[in-house]
Amino acid sequence: MGLFSGLYSDHAAAQPGTQTYDDPRVVARLVEARSAFRWDGVLTPLFQQLAAALLSGAMRGGGFDGRLSVCDFGGGLGNGHAVLSAILGEAVRLDWDVVETPALAQAGNERFAGDGLRFHDSLDALEDREHDLILVSGVLQYLADPEAAFARLARRPHRHMVMNRFPVRQAAAPATADLCTVQDLGLLQAGVSVPHWCFSEERWRRIIDATHGTVMRWTDGFDGRHGLDDGSEVSFIGMLLSRRPVPSRMPSL
């Protein structure tokens, strides 16, 4: 079996026999990896892209005062904060809210919170807190309803959004529908697999364009290119998005 197997029209159909990122084996493995993590000074393409996008988002429009507030939706145990803090040094003060599953948020607060890094188990926990940037890196594909999750994020107060490690289907004819498959997480934890969406880029352009303009986009080679059971392929892209002005309500007469 390859990295991806099966094709399903919805998330529920792909679920039987799979697990979630809250699986205790996955949480334990992620805690182990985060505890051992030490940035070695090598700037991988993944973090080159994220650093460039975050700095571009911070600087656009002027008024940057050296502080950058980030909502890292599905940000694991804060690896992004750790690497970007090391890259940016004291030039940028990061205020970083990770939103994760309850088990990962608990582990994060117990083991890794501090120095501007906090963990939350839901978007509701952030209340109306405003962020300069929302980071969504490699997470929407694992959610039962990614479009609803994006809509919630789009409504939050922010200026820019970075969507990275976003899987799109490539086929002879343009893909017009999202399909779900099952991803083998054996490289992370043997015996664990999870449902994984492969998105129609055409469809998601329309969804994104309703609330955000695209500042720049890039191909993301970190996750590679993989064949699917119907002969199509999935590859990954990234985007820096600028939130469109929210129409103000007319006063009632």
Mind listing the pLDDT tens digit for each residue in 196-252? 999 999 999 999 999 999 999 999 877 889 999 999 999 999 999 999 987 665 555
Residue 238 CB burial class (10 angstroms; 0-12, 13-18, ≥19): buried
Report the candidate in 165, 117, 115 with the shortest Cα–Cα distance to residue 140.
165
Assess contact for 51 and 80: CB atoms under 8 A. no
pLDDT at 166: 97
Alpha-carbon Rg for the chain in angstroms: 18
Residues 55-94 as b/e (b if ≥16 CB within 10 A, e otherwise) read bebbeeeeeeeeebbbbbbbbbbbbbbbbbbebbeeebeb
Please, where are the H alpha helices in the chain?
11-14, 24-36, 45-59, 79-88, 102-111, 146-155, 201-209
CATH class of 4-243: alpha beta
Tell me which DSSP letter residue 125 carries.
G
The set of residues, in sequence order, having a beta carbon less than 8 Å from that of 232 and lying 6+ positions away, is 169, 170, 171, 175
pLDDT at 47: 85
Angle between helices 146-155 and 201-209 (to 10 degrees): 20
Torsion of CA 99, 102, 105, 111, to 10 degrees: -170
Dihedral angle sign, alpha carbons of residues 210, 212, 216, 218: negative
Assess contact for 72 and 138: CB atoms under 8 A. no
Cα–Cα distance for residue pair 46/134, rounded to 1 Å: 17
Tell which wins on pLDDT, 102 or 89.
102
Within a 10 A sphere around the Cβ of 178, how many other Cβ atoms?
20
Mind listing the pLDDT tens digit for each residue in 100-155? 999 999 999 999 999 999 999 999 999 999 999 999 999 999 999 999 999 999 99
User: Where are the chain's structural domains?
Assistant: 4-243
pLDDT at 35: 93
Cα–Cα distance for residue pair 8/14, rounded to 1 Å: 6
Cα–Cα distance for residue pair 57/51, rounded to 1 Å: 10
Mind listing the pLDDT tens digit for each residue in 12-47? 999 999 988 888 988 999 999 999 988 888 888 888
Report the candidate in 187, 176, 93, 183 with the shortest Cα–Cα distance to residue 139.
183
Looking at the predicted structure, is the pLDDT value of residue 1 above 50? no
Torsion of CA 121, 135, 137, 244, to 10 degrees: 120
Report the candidate in 1, 9, 68 with the shortest Cα–Cα distance to residue 195.
9
Cα–Cα distance for residue pair 110/133, rounded to 1 Å: 25
